[in-house]
Amino acid sequence: MSDAPITESATAVLRGSGLLKSFRSDRIETPVLRGLSLEVLAGELTLVSGPSGCGKSTLLALLSGLLRPDAGEVEALGQSLWSLDDQALERFRLQHTGFVFQGFNLFGALSAVEQVMLPLGALGFTRKQARERALVALDEVGLGPRSGLRPAEMSGGEKQRVSIARALAKNPKLLFADEPTSALDAANGQMVIDLLHRLARSHGAAVLCVSHDPRVVAHADRVLHMEDGRLLDDTRLGALQG
């Protein structure tokens, strides 16, 4: 088991070190993360790949402040995440992180623009400011003209773009995406990948994305391969891209 970070860089904005996590059911304890360490860089799309059940979603949950590790540290934007109290952690997540899920996580009763405004209101923007910002974000994902639609009136690809706009509108430094293209067809999947890539490039976010989608691999700057709760491989693809 190695506790050394697998890359070293001044622009690492997210660090996990010695992360351990087990789940217990019926008195059987199953280790899921086994002393995993990594660094994630700003301005890059980093892909986490690996077989089903190897711990990818669990890793994202630990790094994004959703799930407390049994042992180990998460340092996000220089802040030791798991030493914060619940309220400060909630605040940190609201201010600095975005999360894009496979299932979109939208509210059925809200229009696209209202979905995007919701976290902005919690961040202290006035309703007018939140609306303006939300419309800019929806424009950026190509949904400006459809900002009044509710989830039931949107395609899967449109819903995922709303959830990306919701993250984007906060201009988060850290963006997490767990299989964001797996419920989408090829064209919509491609659009979502392009958006995530652009978020890293033009907004300077560290984008950490779990995916089995070969098109994501083609667009990633770096691929981390996990197996059985460990990182086996860290491949930088930058040299292959323009």
Ligand X SMILES: Nc1ncnc2c1ncn2[C@@H]1O[C@H](COP(=O)(O)OP(=O)(O)OP(=O)(O)O)[C@@H](O)[C@H]1O
CB 192 within 8 A of CB 225: no
- 3-class SS shares of the chain: helix, strand, coil, % to 5: 40, 30, 35
Least CB distance to Mg ion at residue 229 (A): 13
Nearer to ligand X by C-beta: 50 or 119?
50
Residue type, 30: T
Residues 91-110 that bind ligand X (CB under 6 A): none
Least CB distance to ligand X at residue 102 (A): 9
Binding-site string for ligand X from residue 5 to residue 24, where x marks contact by CB under 6 A and - marks none: ------------------x-
Q: Which of 14, 38, 41, 54 binds ligand X (CB under 6 A)?
A: 54
Nearer to Mg ion by C-beta: 57 or 190?
57
Judged on CB neighbours under 10 Å (0-12, 13-18, 19+), 201 is middle
CB 7 within 8 A of CB 234: yes
Which DSSP category does 6 fall into? S
Nearer to ligand X by C-beta: 77 or 217?
217
Nearer to ligand X by C-beta: 56 or 159?
56
58 binds, among Mg ion, ligand X, none (CB under 5 to 8 A by kind): ligand X
Answer yes or no whether residue 53 interacts with ligand X by CB under 6 A.
Answer: yes
Judged on CB neighbours under 10 Å (0-12, 13-18, 19+), 27 is exposed
Per CB under 5 A, the segment of 8-16, 54-62, 131-139, 220-228 that binds Mg ion is 54-62
Which DSSP category does 14 fall into? E
Q: Which of 57, 97, 111, 160 binds Mg ion (CB under 5 A)?
A: 57
Residue in the structure block whose two tokens are 């981390």? 224
Residues 195-224 that bind Mg ion (CB under 5 A): none
Tokens (6 digits) for 49: 């790949």
Which DSSP category does 82 fall into? G
How many Å apart are CA 159 and CA 220, to the nearest integer?
23
> Where on the chain is the footprint of ligand X (CB under 6 A)?
23, 25, 32, 52-58
* Contacts to Mg ion by CB under 5 A: 57
